[in-house]
Structures are given as C-alpha cells and as structure tokens.
Amino acid sequence: MKKRPTILDVADKAGVSKSTVSLVLQNSPSVRQSTREDVNRAISDLGYVYNRSAAGLRGASSGLIGLIINDLRNPFFTEFAASAQMEFARKGYSTVIANTDEDPGNQAQVIGTMIEHGVSAFVISPAYGGGDNAFDRIEHAGIPTMQVLRQVDNRTGLFPFATHNYAAGGEMATHHLIDLGCRKIAFVGGLKDRPITNERMSGYRTVMTALGYSATTFHGRPSRAFGREMALTIASEHPEIEAAICFSDLVALGMLSGFAEAGVKVGEDFRLVGFDDIEESSLVYPRLSSIRCDTELFGQSAAQAMLTWIVDDIRPPDVKHHDVNLIERQSSVGPDHE
C-alpha cells in the first residue's frame, strides 16, 4: 500500500513550494489565481488528502468535538445527539461520540481519551455521581465544555448549562389536566432526589400546591418497564387517581401499554401527559399528549452555541432554558380529539 501524498508531493508536482500549497489549502488571499489553479490541479491529480493530525499539531483546531451522552439508546438523547452531530458536520466538524451508559467510570475514561485526541470542545450530557474529577480534568486541559440536559457540575461559569424549561412545561400540563376536570393527579417516574426529577416535577408541585390539591408521586426509573408496572399498580391499587404526568414519554408509553393490558381506557378513564414528545408519541394509539421539548432544534442550538464559542470566542450564557410547549392529544383530551 503506497503511502498517501503530502503537500510536498503536491508542491513538486505543481512546481511551487510547500508553503504555497499550504496557503492554497487555507484559501489565503495572497496567492495568485493561476498558481492556485496549478496547485489545485496537482492536488486532484495526486489524490492528495489533507492531514488534520499534522495540522492540529502546529496549532490549528483539531476540528473534533467530543459528544458524551449518558444514555444513547434512549430516543430522547439519540435525537439530541444525532441533531447536534449533524449540525457539527454541516460546519465541517467531526463528532467523537461516547455512550457512558450512566457510568461515571466510563465517562471519565472516554473524557481522558478524547482529551488525548485533542478535541476542540466537549458537549456533555453527564452521568450522575463520580465526583467532579472528570470535569476537573477538562478544566485543567482548558477545553470549552457545555453541559446539556443535565447539570452535574455547578460551576456553570466554567461549564455553561443548557436545557429545556421543564418547570414551565410541568405547569402547563398540570393546568391542562385541571382544566379537564381532574383533581387527583399523580406524577410518575424519575428517580427520587435527582435534580432532573425535581425540575420536571417542580411545575406540577407548584401548581398543585398553589391550588390546594395534594401531590402524589411515584418515583422510579424512567423506563417503559417502570411505566407499565405503575399503570398496573394504579389500576389495581389506586383507582381514585384520575390522571398522571409522566417524567418522560418512555414512562408514559409504558403506562399506555400497562393500561391497555389492564383494560383502562386512556383519554377517558384516565388522562395522561408525557414529557419530551418523542416521535413515537404522535403515532401510538391513543396518541400521547406530551410536553414537547423540541430536541432536534435544541441539539442544533447547542451545537451552534458551541461553535460560536470556539470559533468567535463568544461564550454561551451560564444557564439557558429553552422553551417547551404542550401538545394536546388523545391521551389527555380524549379519543375524539384529532
């Protein structure tokens, strides 16, 4: 296998020096048009490909973004990751990805390796636990880093945080269910005492308390399995409950199939609102009402914010809450709803 050509080969072929070739590669204005053409011809004749490692060594940015996700298999995070990656690609950046599977050990390991690769930035939806040493290493390496969707390190001056405005979403959903006549409303899913759980629950809590209704919560893993289980439990042991707001669509979809199994008609006997509005939610039956966090847009915005940080040196705000809105569908409004 013959080794690939370098700018030196290109320079020879084009009859110029390698500096000139380098200038052409960078679209420098200070090179004559005819020379540029000679060089470009040589480049395509030789099938030359740019070597970013060598460039990175000399100071240029590596063009690599580290994207670290706590649970890549969860469609909510998949959507975010895919969207951010594509936005980076559009701007010529490559994305090094890692799924940590909620394991701080994995997280620390991949962060270390990515630093070795010289990533220009990190976008992290972090795993909980494991202390701040991973973030400390990033700080030490001086790499621009955003926390997204989960805030684990509270130095937001150092690691800006971007997420959805969950509290507002919870309030909207609660008002919606109350407007439909529900009084006994539960909140289902989300591990106890997790910041994200508290945040997603806060709107519900606020409204229920303000109106003097009692709040009931069923904590648990934000999974389909837990949702299904809780639907069966509620159907058999808490028949007085009229409605639920779920920690995530995954939980709500689990409840949907649990209720189907138990013979409870969702949208009539029980009203349900999810959280995230993943694609699937508009396609199940009954269609799931959900607090829509436009994750595709969010992923794009996060990627853009990071790019303006590393390209134009404009930091994102310490904390940014993206708007959410409530999508009313059959699972709360009833089966006649379109």
Partner DNA sequence: GAAAAAAGTACCCTTTAGACT
Partner DNA sequence: CAGTCTAAAGGGTACTTTTTT
Q: Can you give the binding site for DNA, defined by CB under 7 A?
A: 3-4, 6-8, 11, 15-20, 22-23, 25-26, 29-32, 34-35, 48-51, 54-55, 57-60
Binding mask 222-241 for its own copies (x = CB under 8 A): --xx--x-------------
From its own copies, DNA, none, interface partner of 141 (C-beta below 5 to 8 A by class): its own copies
- State yes or no: residue 180 binds its own copies (CB under 8 A): no
- State yes or no: residue 86 binds its own copies (CB under 8 A): yes
Q: Which residues contact 1 (CB under 8 A, 6 or more apart)?
A: none
Q: Which residues contact 115 (CB under 8 A, 6 or more apart)?
A: 137, 138, 141, 143
Taking CB under 8 A as the criterion, which residues in 101-160 touch its own copies? 101, 106, 109-110, 112-118, 140-142
DSSP 255-281: HHHHHHHHT--BTTTBEEEEEE--GGG
Residue of the chain from 7, 10, 70, 99 that contacts its own copies (CB under 8 A): 99
Beta bridge partners of 273: 245, 289
Residue recorded with tokens 């020879």: 12
Interface stretch with its own copies, choices 86-94, 186-194, 207-215, 302-310 (CB under 8 A): 86-94
- State yes or no: residue 313 binds its own copies (CB under 8 A): no
To the nearest whole angstrom, how small is the minimum distance from the Cβ of residue 230 to DNA?
A: 52
Cα separation of 145 and 152, whole Å? 13
Q: Pick the closest to residue 173 from 25, 290, 70, 83 (CA basis).
A: 290
Continuous H helices in 47-164: 52-57, 75-90, 104-116, 133-141
Residue of the chain from 63, 215, 221, 233 that contacts its own copies (CB under 8 A): 63
To the nearest whole angstrom, how small is the minimum distance from the Cβ of residue 79 to its own copies?
A: 6
From its own copies, DNA, none, interface partner of 20 (C-beta below 5 to 8 A by class): DNA
Q: Which residues contact 250 (CB under 8 A, 6 or more apart)?
A: 74, 75, 76, 222, 223, 224, 227, 276, 278
To the nearest whole angstrom, how small is the minimum distance from the Cβ of residue 57 to its own copies?
A: 5
Residue of the chain from 12, 22, 36, 82 that contacts its own copies (CB under 8 A): 82
- State yes or no: residue 210 binds its own copies (CB under 8 A): no
Which of 45, 280 has the CB closer to its own copies? 280
- State yes or no: residue 271 binds its own copies (CB under 8 A): no
To the nearest whole angstrom, how small is the minimum distance from the Cβ of residue 282 to its own copies?
A: 9
- Are the C-beta atoms of residues 72 and 99 closer than 8 Å to each other? yes
- Are the C-beta atoms of residues 34 and 44 closer than 8 Å to each other? no
CB atoms within 10 A of CB 263: 8
Cα separation of 287 and 306, whole Å? 35
Cα three-residue angle 85-291-269, rounded to 5 degrees: 140
- State yes or no: residue 46 binds its own copies (CB under 8 A): no
- List of residues contacting its own copies (CB under 8 A): 1, 4, 47, 49-54, 56-57, 62-64, 67, 72-73, 75, 78-79, 81-82, 85-86, 89, 92, 94-99, 101, 106, 109-110, 112-118, 140-142, 224-225, 228, 253-254, 257-258, 260-261, 279-280, 283-285
